[in-house]
Structure formats: C-alpha cells, structure tokens
Amino acid sequence: MYLLWMLACATAPAAPPQTPTAPHAVQKTDAEWRAALSPESYGILRQKDTERAFSGSYWNHHDAGTYLCAGCGQPLFTSEDKFDSGTGWPSYTRPASADAVEVEVDRSYGMSREEVLCHRCGGHLGHVFDDGPPPTGRRYCINSGALTFQASAP
C-alpha cells in the first residue's frame, strides 16, 4: 500500500500534500457499512462504483457550503473550489484541507488513474486528473453519492 502511495506522488508532483495510507480513523465491518449507508452510497464508497454522469445531486449544485464524506462526515471539499467541469460530476480544484483525502494509483479497467479516497474512513470518492483550471490545474472528479452537503451559516 505504501508503494502505491509513492507511485501516486511520483506521477503527481503538483498535488497538494497527501498522507500515506494508514489505518483509517473510522473503521466498520462491511455489514456495518452496508447498514449505515444508502445502497447508492455504499456502492460508491465501499465498492468503488461510479454514478452515471449528470445523475447525482451535486454536479449542478451551486450553494455556498461544505461537502462532507457521506460515510464519516469528514469535510472534503468546499463550494469555493467547485467549478463546472461539464462532466456531470461535481468537480473541485482541491480538497478542503491537505489531509482530507488520500490519492492512490488505480489501474482498473486498463487505465492508470489517481483514485481519491476519504482520509478518515477510506471511502472511495472518485478520481483526480491534471486537466483542471487554475489555481491548481487539478480536477477532483467526485461522485455525488459519496458526499453530503452542509450549507454555510447565513
């Protein structure tokens, strides 16, 4: 697992600081996750499913606030870093904090992609690409079903 982290960093020198994979602070059994999450969120967070483009709750969502992990409540992304990517998935230029997420190399489906996971519970969130806008040039392409939204205080 540590090797994967090293490879992720080697291919993404411009990425914000990422933390190596360690035992996650939030640990549940598969049965506990299944009971705690909606079927959609369980599929994404725990089985690495991808929701259909333009089908989720947040790709076209523009309220001010914070996007939390649907698995553990960790703040992951903010509306300030959200942009309209045109992909049909909520997209951000960076995480809410440097240690909010982890990035691992994902070689599934014959591709080499950078997988984004919640640092607190290890839930799968989506992938990150190097074709994003300024200021980071990164595009965190995230499943709505991995998120919940907390509006900013008025």
Q: Is 118 a catalytic residue?
A: no
- State which of positions 58-77 bind Fe ion (CB under 5 A): 69, 71-72, 74
Q: In degrees rounded to 5, what are phi and psi of residue 114?
A: -100, 115
Closest separation in Å from C-beta 98 to Fe ion: 16
**Residue 3 or 29 having the CB closest to Fe ion:** 29
Report 110-129 residues binding Fe ion (CB under 5 A).
Answer: 118, 120-121, 123
Q: Give the CA-trace dihedral at 151, 96, 11, 123, to 10 degrees.
A: -60
Judged by beta carbon, residue 71 or residue 126, the one nearer Fe ion is 71
CB of 54 to Fe ion, least distance (A): 24
Q: Kindly list the catalytic residues.
A: 141
* Contacts to Fe ion by CB under 5 A: 69, 71-72, 74, 118, 120-121, 123
